[in-house]
Structure 1
């Protein structure tokens, strides 16, 4: 039996965990959510909700994983023997696999755009028609989804130290560098200041319950909590590391990347006469049209899709890792075999989602396409339930002494976290859950 892999450095763990959090939620979803909910007010509420509601749950997941030093299922079995708490681990594994099944579809779209950009086929394209042709083509949609899963499997099969940590420690710094390049380009456009004002000068007419709920949901989901991914990553962390500081770093990096994504997109959108409320098509339809009007726009567009690919891959490897970690248990020598097998199964499960905009577009579940239904099932139902259970476990099953010892922080910070994990986060999660399932009853 081979020994269990571990992160070799604290920064390697932070970058991997931040990479899990910084995915399509930060770069794809955050800009269009901010764009359709008034910009600055949404952003302010998002930052507050991230630290007040999301961060305590993230710390709880780090605590459970680092204390257990095993996969998510075994960690709960060790810490709560002869109880059903371990089902959180199994639930997280299933939900992570389902999320990856449709997440890989979007990853495939990014590969399609990147391939066209590198081969100079994006110039002067009708981007609405291009996007439609990609997502409705059965062969292309499934082929690029398979390529994306292949990339994910190769990294996870190489292990924590040789795969996930190594990939994260060069992809995440490049992510920041590429973002800075694009932000500088965007901010130097004539009229860019309007985009900056949209992000940072509050329009208080948007300060309402709907904007708060949207910001709360974005803050919560952007941290990858609720599916035991962070429990899995933290299990590879040394007992000497301070998890509170690591969690703050991860949450802060997620906010910074989200703001950088906004600073790339909104100044350029305003400078070139577009409106920010374009919805999900902002990245795949509006942004390429914006870049096309810039000098060296093709180069900057290629950089953007490389950046988007990096962010998507760092998230996808965390989702496959929880599946692999639970499946191999203590038989670490089986990692490669299980990574390939798990990747293949998730790829097969994702094929209906890949085809749901084309030949399976007539199939609907609860008035949703297959893709949208799996998204709804995982994001609106499964993740809030998982996060609520994790909050209850850390807030009520752990004794105060265990929590204080694991968190190893000042008395004031511990009290703030303790109140948040027992009362504030669970209530907020219930609000998100109720808001998410309300459409089922309307």
Structure 2
């Protein structure tokens, strides 16, 4: 046990920070158009089932790895499995964290640009075609792309340099409650719009005909993305956790909050877009084209759109804190401590993020397997590294760690008994790995759809 390691100040500080890591762009930006293309309610049912049966058991496992080792993403595996090659799993997690942070930073930069535009009034008029053109111009603008990405990463650095309690935890305690309040307001407003029930019906009526092997891997990737599992974020956060906090109880709360926010997103967006005769299947433009056009038609719409953008920006920040912390923690001692190490790593990540930031402008012609650098980074992280990382985490925790260690960590300060422990272990060792493997076999065509 590393007694000098910083710790969360309370259980709820840890839960809110972990939920903040889970609730961000993955839940708000990607979810509506994924749900729209995956059968609406059918998507949400599968998403919820996969979250609790596949992803939650692995989330618990990652917290156990972090708390029992009291070390960062890479050294946790060296502590728990010395003399083996398991540390590569942590290294893959750090690499995945950098990829996802690149994705977050670029979108965060767009949000910053749109906050400025909304305040200036330049998105408070115009039809969807004009707003779509404006979105293309913003994302293709080199200065906006690089400046926005840089500012987003700078804010991350400023928070993470303050440490776990004074930085990440303190900000998360403000952001998460604010997000819930805003979404409740938006849901109420959305459900009172004309024809809002059509959107609600679309979301609540599952269309399983749209579910195939390809959509299942996307849904599973979204579940991993939404709970930040598979790239050692929760190993890192778990390493700052004391033994007075129940890991299974806290993990369940994080999963429930993630699913609730995902439900809130759908309830806020689907009725609104259907009220104005739009199907939310146009990808990232839903936040930067469809929503502005809807807010423009509502009383005080510009104000609410600005508030939505600001809180969406904060949600992106709360998620990215864990990404920067995971990427930096293994190298802090080598780079001169938390503050200097975070500044150095932040600068390195900024340089690595520039190609993704320029993927919609001067580097739009640069492709990897037919995808832009931005899209390739997102696909590699969400649909390959996260599920693979989760698979090997399940194998490591379930088959490599001693049963007594798992029992001690699972039951510490917990009301969960022996039966639930064995249910969790069964899901972790067999159900979760099998689900991930089957999805990959279907996706690669080895098993026909």
TM-score when normalising by structure 1: 0.94
Q: Which residue of 1 aligns with 2:339?
A: 336
Q: Which residue of 1 aligns with 2:302?
A: 298
Q: 2:354 aligns with which of 351, 356, 359?
A: 351
| 2:77 is aligned with 1:70 | no
What is the alpha-carbon distance in structure 2 between the residues aligned to residue 182 and residue 131 of structure 1? Answer: 23
What is the alpha-carbon distance in structure 2 between the residues aligned to residue 384 and residue 211 of structure 1? Answer: 14
Q: 1:280 aligns with which of 241, 260, 284?
A: 284
Contact 1:21 1:223 in 2 (8 A): yes
Contact 1:384 1:430 in 2 (8 A): no
Q: Which residue of 1 aligns with 2:387?
A: 384
Identify which range, 35-44 or 223-232, moves more after superposition.
Answer: 35-44
Contact 1:91 1:386 in 2 (8 A): yes
| 2:266 is aligned with 1:265 | no
Q: Structure 1 stretches of 5 or more lacking a match?
A: none
Query: 1:328–1:106: structure 2 CA closer, same or farther, 3 Å change rule?
Result: same
Could you tell me how far 1:65 is from its partner in structure 2? 0.6
Q: Which residue of 1 aligns with 2:6?
A: 5
Correspondence 1:316-335 to 2 at 5 A: 316-329=320-333, 334-335=337-338
Correspondence 1:20-419 to 2 at 5 A: 20-125=21-126, 126-206=130-210, 209-329=213-333, 334-408=337-411, 409-419=416-426
Report the number of matched residues: 438
Could you tell me how far 1:213 is from its partner in structure 2? 3.8
Could you tell me how far 1:374 is from its partner in structure 2? 1.8
SS at match of 1:145: helix
Q: Structure 2 stretches of 5 or more lacking a match?
A: none
TM-score when normalising by structure 2: 0.93
What is the alpha-carbon distance in structure 1 between the residues aligned to residue 329 and residue 212 of structure 2? Answer: 42
What is the alpha-carbon distance in structure 2 between the residues aligned to residue 322 and residue 290 of structure 1? Answer: 38
What is the alpha-carbon distance in structure 2 between the residues aligned to residue 227 and residue 386 of structure 1? Answer: 6
SS at match of 2:288: coil
What is the alpha-carbon distance in structure 1 between the residues aligned to residue 330 and residue 442 of structure 2? Answer: 31
Could you tell me how far 1:202 is from its partner in structure 2? 3.0
SS at match of 2:429: helix
Query: 1:24–1:162: structure 2 CA closer, same or farther, 3 Å change rule?
Result: same
SS at match of 2:374: helix
What is the alpha-carbon distance in structure 2 between the residues aligned to residue 110 and residue 410 of structure 1? Answer: 45
Identify which range, 57-66 or 117-126, moves more after superposition.
Answer: 117-126
What is the alpha-carbon distance in structure 1 between the residues aligned to residue 54 and residue 216 of structure 2? Answer: 13
What is the alpha-carbon distance in structure 2 between the residues aligned to residue 277 and residue 213 of structure 1? Answer: 18
Query: 1:436–1:379: structure 2 CA closer, same or farther, 3 Å change rule?
Result: farther
What is the alpha-carbon distance in structure 2 between the residues aligned to residue 291 and residue 276 of structure 1? Answer: 15
Deviation track 1:77-99 (CA, whole Å, cap 9, x = no partner) reads 11111111122222211221122
SS at match of 2:245: coil
Q: What value does the CA root-mean-square deviation take over the aligned residues?
A: 2.0
What is the alpha-carbon distance in structure 2 between the residues aligned to residue 15 and residue 406 of structure 1? Answer: 21
Deviation track 1:322-379 (CA, whole Å, cap 9, x = no partner) reads 12211114x8971111111111110110101111111111111222111122222222
Could you tell me how far 1:380 is from its partner in structure 2? 2.5
